A and B are shown apart, each in its own frame.
Chain A
Amino acid sequence: MSTESGTRRRRFTVEDDVVVVDLFEPERDLLGHLLPQLSEMLMAGDDAALRRLKPPARPDDAEAEQQFRELVDDDMLLARLEAIETVEQGIDGARLDSVGVEAWMKSLNALRLVVGEVLADLGVDLAADDAEPGAEELRIAQMRSSLDWLGSVIWDLVDAASSMLPDD
């Protein structure tokens, strides 16, 4: 999509040390559709696609891993749900400070990781190029599109947020 001047409209711009969010309308609809599902999955906690959000920290030691999980899981769940809520509140437009940027970054990436796991569970090789899908593969094609789209959004947010990091 372009502005009248022909320049590419940016999803995220930096103004006065905040990141201004301005998503395209279909993107707002899709995020508004996906984020509540992610929250639901997190609260239920039993979907295999969530495993990528809790990778093992101590794969060498089952007892230590259990201790780590007991240490972090509740806090991480709460933080994820709060971050998703921040994004949902800003879908139609927001000015993000560093906390808000972090919430968006983490939530979008978590969503992308879960979509990736769902695709992997469906037997999709994420490294392979897309094939023209048949009707029975439509859902897979839609999810691959979402994976790519989320990647594009994250890329743009990283570009904006990187300009706010201290100079080297």
Chain B
Amino acid sequence: MVGRPRDLVRAVGLVGVGRLVTGTIVTGSGPHSDRPSAPRAAADPQSREASPAGHMTAPVTTPVRDPATEGFVAEDRPWKVIVWDDPVNLMHYVTFVFRKLFGFSEKKAERLMMEVHTDGRAVVSSGTKEKAENDVFRLHEHGLWATMEHDS
């Protein structure tokens, strides 16, 4: 996440950017192609969980499977929703989204935002699978990178 950006209207005025599109068309399997599908972290060789390419990717978790209980119990276990850091979203905006979507106090929202910013991730909600899916959907709508997984 980033802090307050420069206000270029006051500084140098605005310029047009031409076309947004780069002219490249993704072929093949789309978002799950061999390109990293997770947002990039700023290139930082010291960054947490940075891949050799300097990109942050979501961790791959391998659930422990118990064939005796898997079909019966798996979906009943609570789920947690995790928000991940990214190099574009504003800290101010992320705090606001937490307050708006989850009703957190400003203090709690800021604390969670800072946890995302410093630790790379934070758990923002937990509950049923349906609740987690809805929370992830709402966070994605607001441009945050969120994932869901079973709460261990």
Contact across chains for A55 and B39 when beta carbons are under 8 A apart? yes
Partner of B20, one of A26, A53, A118, A165: A118
Q: How far is the CA of A75 from the CA of B134 in the complex (A)?
A: 12
Contact with A along B1-45 (1 / 0, CB 8 A): 010111111101111111111101110001110010111101110
Give A114 to B105 CA distance when docked, in angstroms: 30
Would you call the interface of chain B mostly helix, strand, loop, or mixed? Answer: loop
Report A-chain residues with C-beta under 8 Å of the C-beta of B87.
116, 126-127
- Interface segment among A13-21, A88-96, A153-161: the answer is A153-161
In the bound complex, residues from chain B placing their C-beta under 8 Å from that of A126 are 2, 42, 87-88
Closest to A143 in B: B17
- Is A27's CB under 8 angstroms from B14's CB? yes
- Which chain B residues numbered 31 to 77 have a C-beta less than 8 Å away from chain A? 31-32, 35, 37-40, 42-44, 57-63
Which residues of the other chain, A, contact B7 by a CB distance below 8 angstroms? Answer: 148-149, 152
Task: Say how far A35's CB is from chain B's closest CB, in angstroms.
Answer: 10
Contacts of B32 in A (CB 8 A): 56, 62, 65
Size of the A side of the interface (Cβ < 8 Å), in residues, is: 70
Contacting A152 at CB < 8 Å: which of B8, B44, B146?
Answer: B8
Contact between A60 and B105 (Cβ–Cβ < 8 Å)? no
Interface of A is mostly: helix
A27-57 residues with Cβ-Cβ distance < 8 A to B are 27, 29-30, 33-34, 37-38, 41, 46-49, 51-57
Known: A57-B148, A71-B133, A162-B96. A145 touches B8 (CB 8 A): yes
Q: Which residue of B lies closest to A36 (CB)?
A: B20
Instruction: Apart from A47-B22, A113-B88, A152-B4, list 11 A-B contacts with CB within 8 A.
Output: A1-B10, A55-B146, A56-B147, A57-B148, A59-B59, A106-B143, A145-B14, A146-B14, A149-B8, A154-B90, A154-B93
On A, residues with C-beta under 8 Å from B are 1, 24, 26-27, 29-30, 33-34, 37-38, 41, 46-49, 51-60, 62, 65, 68, 71-72, 75-76, 79-80, 105-106, 109-110, 112-116, 118, 120-122, 125-127, 139, 142-143, 145-152, 154-155, 158-159, 161-162, 165-166, 168
Which residues of B line the A interface, CB within 8 A? 2, 4-10, 12-22, 24-26, 30-32, 35, 37-40, 42-44, 57-63, 86-90, 92-93, 96, 99-100, 103, 105-107, 133, 136-137, 140-143, 145-149
